[in-house]
A and B are shown apart, each in its own frame.
Chain A
Amino acid sequence: MSTMKAASIRLWRTSPATYLALIVGCALSLFPIYWMFVVATRSNDVINDVPPPMLPGAELADNVGRVFANEHAAFAYGLVNSLVVSSVVTLSVVFFSTLAGFAFAKLRFRGRNAMLLVIVATMMVPIQLGLIPLYMLMVKIGWNGHLQAVIVPFLVSGFGVFMMRQYAAEAISDELVEAARVDGCSTFRIYWNVVLPVLRPAAAVLGLLTFMQTWNEFIWPYAVLDANTPTVQLSLSLLATAYYTDYAQVFAATALATLPLFAVFILFGRQIIGGIMEGSIKS
């Protein structure tokens, strides 16, 4: 009885108007994605009806079949390539960021602060601005058109190093590092056995963000790769720009390319949200 009363009071304190506004906001967020899945399950002649259909249909398998049969876009290749690229980049960024973040937070060495400042400054330099020479470099070493062209330049991240430094500075006590030292651990052993387990939550968030970002990367693959070795975003754009009258096929491909991200987001959304909110407090 009393708990019910308390609950109703708590509900009253937030007005229905707040919930209404939040629901409208979320509906606007979700609608284009919902619409994407609706079109992906419909046939082309229905999509062009007036008014357009608002509920999913039964043609998903048909549309997906057309996507994979389309030789021009090499969609299956794109999916596999993106999985490889995103996984390798994510593992590498997490490894090097935790390693350097630990060094900056817990080890003493000459020029530490100046070098940290350089890393923060690199976060301001977007890769797009070096696009032309980077492309020339790739042509020179023969990497253009090959996957390593979209992997190797992204193996480290200034943002990642900075994020791990901030987390390590607070999460790891000096005593822990000292104790491991006294026990005769080498510095790398301390990193691997003591530091890495403590950094795991933050490293997971960095990994998730890196995976999503790499999966979604567009301009650089667009410049350096071609239809023989596409990433999924490149396949998607080839499909969309060449077959833009076959909306059902294009939207089925868009849904397929987005699905892995949603799976990651639904599983780890809480951690990602926490990471974004946390980062802002510290910066």
Chain B
Amino acid sequence: MTSSSVVRASAAAQAAGARDPWRSRLTRADVRFAPYFFIAPFFVMFAIFGAFPLVYTGWVSLHDWHLIGDHTFIGFANYTALFADPDFWNALKNTVGIFVLATVPQLMMALGMANLLNRKIRARTFFRMGVLIPNVTSVAAVGIVFGQLFARDVGLVNYVITSLGLDAVDWQANTWSSWIAIATMVDWRWTGYNTLILLGAMQAIPKDLFEAAALDGASPWQQFWRITVPQLRPTLVFTVIISTIGGLQLFTEPVIFGNGRMLGGTLGQFQTVTMYMYETAFQRFQYGYGAAIAWSLFGLIVVFSAVNLLIVRRAAG
């Protein structure tokens, strides 16, 4: 379809050439090379600051590497050490745990909110902005505000809990409680964003599907589960993939929740993989080992995303 523009363009160049051959050559060169000039900046910059670091991480991960001084090639020793490292497995367990705890309720709530927003409602823009506003807030700010809400002695959450006659929770001190506090921050920030993505997809579902179902006597509840959800499946998996990529890299919320320390609590109960990578490379200066963690994380993201992609294929087919 775009080929026609090229044909006409060279015709224009020929017409111009009848008058001025030099100008025609210039025009032809412009038509031919301009596209490459237009896309080159992206590829040059990405090669330097995106692809090179990623590949170089792989190279560094095969060394015993320090910022100043020697680096010795040690093959896959960093990786074998990593698989025997209890701190890595702990960080991985925390990351996946918080990810599941954050993603499942988040998508359920987003689905529910999108369904509500898809009805004929007043003040539509107000409600849409209301659910999206947490996403506009910076992660650092979210970490600070929720850190205070979940504080042990003066936090608002514990105030509510003790008012209900229950015992106050030391949110930072235990695995489960710290996971819940951090997952709450993630949920709070991302539910509205996913709501709007799902709402967009919901509005693309043909209305006659619902009308036909209503004529057949399907209740709104049945319509939601039999029509809306199956039609949304590809978008749902898209949101799962986005949450996977973001969730496996979780960093800022737990760091600020732990007052800027990378250890993630006294026993590392909420240290994520990215925090462990940061600690290893930037605080213990073991760049090779840190790079091995980065590549393992990349591998995990690829595997998780691939599994999700297979689910999309199946859902679509």
Contact = CB atoms under 8 A, between A and B. Distances in A.
Interface string A181-207: 110101110010000000000000000
A213 B254 CA distance: 19
Contacts of A212: 136
Contacts of A133: 52-54, 56-57, 60, 291
B129 interface: yes
Given A177-B5, A237-B260, A273-B125, 11 more contacts: A122-B46, A124-B245, A128-B251, A134-B49, A155-B41, A158-B42, A174-B5, A181-B8, A216-B138, A240-B143, A254-B141
Interface of B: 1-6, 8-9, 12, 16, 27, 30-32, 34-36, 38-39, 41-43, 45-46, 49-54, 56-57, 60, 67, 109, 112-113, 116-117, 119-122, 125-134, 136-149, 154, 156, 159, 188, 192-193, 196-201, 203-204, 235, 238, 245, 249, 251-252, 255-256, 259-260, 274, 277-278, 281-282, 287, 290-291, 294-295, 297-298, 301-302, 305
Contacts of A262: 133, 136
Contacts of B134: 29, 32-33
Contacts of B260: 237, 240-241
Interface in A71-125: 96, 99-100, 102-109, 112, 115, 118-119, 122, 124-125
Contact of B128 (A11, A174, A273): A273
A137 B287 CA distance: 13
Contacts of B117: 22
Given A29-B131, A237-B140, A269-B129, A280 B200 contact: yes
A102 B2 CA distance: 12
Contacts of B109: 25
Contacts of A186: 27, 30, 34
A163 interface: no
Q: Is the interface of B mostly helix, strand, loop or mixed?
A: helix
Given A186-B30, A187-B31, A48 B154 contact: yes
B201 A281 contact: yes
A237 to B, nearest CB: 5
Interface residues of A, number: 103
Given A139-B67, A161-B42, A129 B12 contact: no
Nearest to B282: A223
Most buried by A among B145, B149, B301: B145
Contacts of B131: 25-26, 29
Interface string A121-164: 01011111111111111010000000000001101101001000
A222 to B, nearest CB: 8
Interface string A226-255: 000000010011001100100100110010
Given A32-B134, A106-B5, A273-B129, A132 B154 contact: no
Given A14-B120, A139-B67, A223-B282, A29 B35 contact: no
B224 to A, nearest CB: 13
B12 A184 contact: yes
B137 A129 contact: no
A5 interface: no
B127 A132 contact: no
Contacts of B122: 11, 14
Given A129-B57, A156-B42, A35 B145 contact: yes
A122 B137 CA distance: 26
A265 B42 contact: no
B259 A244 contact: yes
Given A32-B149, A257-B138, A181 B125 contact: no
B121 to A, nearest CB: 5
A191 B136 CA distance: 32
